[in-house]
Every structure is written in C-alpha cells, then in structure tokens.
Amino acid sequence: MPYELKQIALSTKGFMPEDEGDALFAAAIDASRVVTAADFVEIGSYCGRSTVWLGAAARMSGVKLHAVDHHGGSEENQPGWEWHDESLVDPATGRLNTLPHFLATLDRAGLNDVVRPVVAESSSAASSWVQPISFVFIDGGHGREVARTDWTSWSPLLTSGATLAIHDVFEDERDGGQAPFEEIYLPAISAGFSEISRIGSLRVLRKS
C-alpha cells in the first residue's frame, strides 16, 4: 500500500481500522492473481476510507473497483443512532448524504481513474451486473434484511476462485451485531466458501 494513499485512507471518515484495511488490500491483490482480468466490487463505501485501500489494490492489479453505495447512510448512521455524524447531513435536504465526501476522497487520493462510483441500492446494482468479478467486499448496512440481501444479490455472481471479504463479522454478540455473521458469513460457509484469512472483524473467504 503506497504510504501517501494509506495516510489519506486513515484521515478519511469511516470505520475501517488500519490493520483490517491493510488485510483488505492484501486480500484484493491476492484475489486478482487467482481470478485474473476481473474487477473488484465494494458494497458500502460511506466516505471512501476502505475505498482507498481497495482502489490502490485495483490500480496495482490493473482492474477497476466498482464502489456501490446509495450514499444515504445505513440504519446505524441515521439521526438518533450511535454512529450518526451530523457533519454528513446535507443542509439543503436535512438528509444524510455521503456522496460529496466520497467524491472528495477519490479526488484527494487521485483514484478517479480506477474507481467507478455506482450510486444505487446494492440489489439494484447486482441485478444488472455483467462484468466478471474477482473480489467482492461487503460492508453495507448491518440490519439483517440488508445483509441478507447483499449476500443473495452478489454471491451468485462469484465464480469459482473468486474472493468474498466481509466486514464487522462477530461470532460473539457481545462484540457486535450479528447480521454480517449470521446472514453473510455462515451462509457463505454453508455454500462451500472456505475461510482463507481473518483479522479483527474482517473475514476473507474463497469460493471453491
């Protein structure tokens, strides 16, 4: 990971710890070597913190990163919830809007040539998808229905050898919400994905 890009990632609003971001970068690089000439997909970009790590990996791998987010914030980002950030509210509409912040991050990082923003619901983007995919990172909404929809929408698009990375996976409910674990991780294991690495709450799996 280039030092300058890493500093931009770490200075961007978001919830990706440094060690997990580094592991995400390494997993994406590895994925591109297993399934070649296929793009990356990120589900849930927020302000672009994890996007910088993945965009750097995409550039080094010679592929594109498709960053899918409706940019209205997840449930836990809304007013009254623990992870609400008033600075991300659009004063004109009174609604959360992370898109300007996300685009500013891409500009600061110089990643506009490799990152393609997809401003849409995850399921809508998946329904019209045609590009081959080597790597999908799911870090969208953490409600059960949202997490389940991310899994059912994107997992059929992954071919043998493709990599699935999942953020905020907590086996113990005392550590965090259970939706990514129960609605994405466990179904992936049942579907024949094999875990190849873990660090913190990041799980990286490969489709057999």
**Phi, psi (degrees; rounded to nearest 5) at 110:** 65, 40
Q: Would you place residue 123 in the very low, low, confident or very high pLDDT band (cuts 50, 70, 90)?
A: very high
Residues 90-113 have pLDDT tens digits of: 888 878 899 999 999 999 999 999
Residue 197 has pLDDT above 90, yes or no: yes
Residue 68, CB-side half-sphere exposure with 13 Å CA sphere: 23
Residues 53-104 have pLDDT tens digits of: 999 999 999 999 999 999 987 767 667 656 678 788 888 887 889 999 999 9
Provide mean pLDDT across the span 177-200: 97
Provide mean pLDDT across the span 112-126: 98
Is the domain defined by 3-207 classed in CATH 3.60.20.10? no
**Phi, psi (degrees; rounded to nearest 5) at 9:** -60, -45
Residues 124-180 have pLDDT tens digits of: 999 999 999 999 999 998 899 999 999 999 999 999 999 999 999 999 999 988 999
pLDDT of residue 83: 63
Q: What is the mean pLDDT of the chain?
A: 94
pLDDT of residue 7: 98
pLDDT of residue 81: 58
DSSP state of 127: H
Here the tokens at position 152 are 């059912």
Q: Would you place residue 29 in the very low, low, confident or very high pLDDT band (cuts 50, 70, 90)?
A: very high
Provide mean pLDDT across the span 30-39: 98
Bridge partners, residue 66, by sequence: 41, 116
Least confident of 9-18, 21-30, 91-100, 173-182: 91-100
Q: Is 142 marked active-site?
A: yes
pLDDT of residue 25: 98
Q: What is the pTM of this model?
A: 0.94
Residues 6 or more apart whose CB falls under 8 angstroms from that of 159 comprise 35, 132, 133, 207
Residue of 66, 71, 101, 142 marked active site: 142
**Phi, psi (degrees; rounded to nearest 5) at 14:** 160, -175
Q: In terms of DSSP H, where are the helices of the chain?
A: 3-10, 18-34, 49-61, 99-109, 122-127, 144-154, 179-180, 186-190
